[in-house]
Each structure stands twice: as C-alpha cells, then as structure tokens.
Amino acid sequence: MSKQLSEQDLETLSRAALFTGLTIAEIEDLVAFASVRRYKARTVIMEKGDSANAVYIILDGHIRIFAQGDDDKEVTLNELAAGQYFGELALITDEPRCASAATTCDARLLMVPKPQFREFLATTPDAALRMINVLANKVRELTRDVERLALQDVYGRVVSILSERAEEHDGLRVTGPLTQQELGNLVGASREMISRIFRDLKKGGYISLDGKRIVLKRELPARW
C-alpha cells in the first residue's frame, strides 16, 4: 500500500463505484504504484489536449470538469467529489484529454498511472463493467445537458439547475453553495445575465440568498 494513504483513504476508495466489491487487499494492490497529489483551490489538474498518463481518484475536495472556448468562456460539464474519478476516458481510447479539470477547493487526489490502471481493468472484469455503466450514465447526463442548452433559454436552464440542486430544509428548498459565476458556467451564460435574473427573482419574492446558498421561497415562474 502507498505510505501516503491512510485507513480513511482506503475506506473512501472502497466506497468508490469503480471499486465496488473489491477487498481492501485488492485495492492496495491497485494503488501500490499510485501517488497522492495535493492541490490548492482553483488549480488546473489537466487541460483539454493534454496527453493522458493517469487516472485521478478524489480522496478529498471537489473537482470541476469544464470546457473552454477560444473566447475563454467556460462551460461546466461535471462536478465531482470524494470517491469519484476522472481522466479515465483518454486512457481507454489513447486520445488526448477531451476536457479540462480544476479544483474548486483544496484537494487530495490519488494518481494511478496508465499501465497499472489498464492492467487493473484487464484483470478485474467486474470493474471494467462498472466503468462502462458509469460512462453510459455520463452520456445520458451529457445528452440531458445538450438538450437543456439547445431547447431552453437561459432562464429555463437556471430554473432546471436550481430545481435539481435544491433540497428540503426547514420547510424551504435550499441549494448547496453556488455562486452566480458557477451557475453561469453551468448554464452557459454570463455572470451579468445571472445577476439580472436573480435580481428580478428576489424582487418578486421567489428566492433569497443565504451566503452562497439559494433559498427557493416560492415555485419559480415558468417564464422570465
């Protein structure tokens, strides 16, 4: 086992979807040649077009997967937390990285080199099937996001994201921490546009802000 991994790290890995059903000993064999990397918040881990030499598993922190256009405009493709992984697709296809990844807070990642990861998949068919299932779910999520971008206006996309992320709390529906810039990246809109939508929704008594959390006080109107 890597000396950089704690018992808690191994528990995190054992709960990861990729390693479901594996024993601690099997996980230790996989990560024997892996290394733990620490990153500060807002650090770019990989960029689109980079060559792929490892898969990353999140031990602590959060990662944002994003695409960036020539005008530096960014669109968030996914957000990942402890126990999830990224960078696997390029290892399977031998193609350059197809998206960029950055930390949203301080993070620790387990970096598994390409040879060890491929050997793991070749010798652990169940894990390979689980990865196929995860990739299929990602395709479904991307299809949903493409439909949202193509068929809904900016306001409709904002409502969809807020509705998906809101959870019941003391009789109100409240999102987790979500800045206007982050929301803009998720829906493909400028921060200024999000600010205008929020201003009108607050004026109408539909939402209020609790720090970085958004409180949905009433059902959001169908149109803005």
- pLDDT exceeding 90 applies to what percent of the chain? 38
Distance between CA atoms of 58 and 47, rounded to whole angstroms? Answer: 17
7-139 maps to CATH 2.60.40.10: no
Sign of CA dihedral 110, 82, 107, 100: positive
More confident residue, 71 or 183: 183
Mean predicted confidence (pLDDT) in 196-215: 92
pLDDT of amino acid 1: 45
Q: What is the pLDDT of residues 109-163, one digit of tens each?
A: 999 998 888 888 888 888 788 878 877 887 888 787 777 666 678 898 898 889 8
Identify the band that residue 2 occupies on the pLDDT scale cut at 50, 70 and 90.
low
Structural domain boundaries in the chain? 7-139, 152-216
Task: Please name which of 3, 126, 104 lies closest in space to residue 60, comparing C-alpha atoms.
Answer: 104
Distance between CA atoms of 13 and 80, rounded to whole angstroms? Answer: 14
Report in angstroms the alpha-carbon separations of 21 from 2, 17, 29, 130, 184: 21, 9, 14, 11, 39
CATH number belonging to the domain at 152-216, selected among 3.50.50.60, 1.10.357.10, 3.10.20.30, 1.10.10.10: 1.10.10.10
CA 102 to chain centre: 10
Does residue 130 contact residue 120 with C-beta atoms inside 8 Å? Answer: no
Which residue stretches of 85-217 are H helix? 88-93, 114-123, 125-151, 154-165, 180-187, 191-203
Structure tokens at 82: 């402890």
What kind and span of H or E run contains 58?
strand 54-60
Does residue 75 contact residue 120 with C-beta atoms inside 8 Å? Answer: no
Does residue 10 contact residue 24 with C-beta atoms inside 8 Å? Answer: yes
Residue 66 pairs in a beta bridge with: 76, 100
More confident residue, 97 or 20: 97
pLDDT of amino acid 81: 93
- Most confident among 20-29, 84-93, 209-218 (mean pLDDT): 209-218
Q: What is the pLDDT of residues 74-105, one digit of tens each?
A: 888 889 999 999 998 877 788 899 899 999 99
What kind and span of H or E run contains 15?
helix 7-15
pLDDT of amino acid 204: 92
Provide the 10 A C-beta neighbour count for residue 223.
Answer: 8
Mean pLDDT of the chain: 87
Structure tokens at 197: 């939508």
Assess whether pLDDT exceeds 80 at residue 63: yes
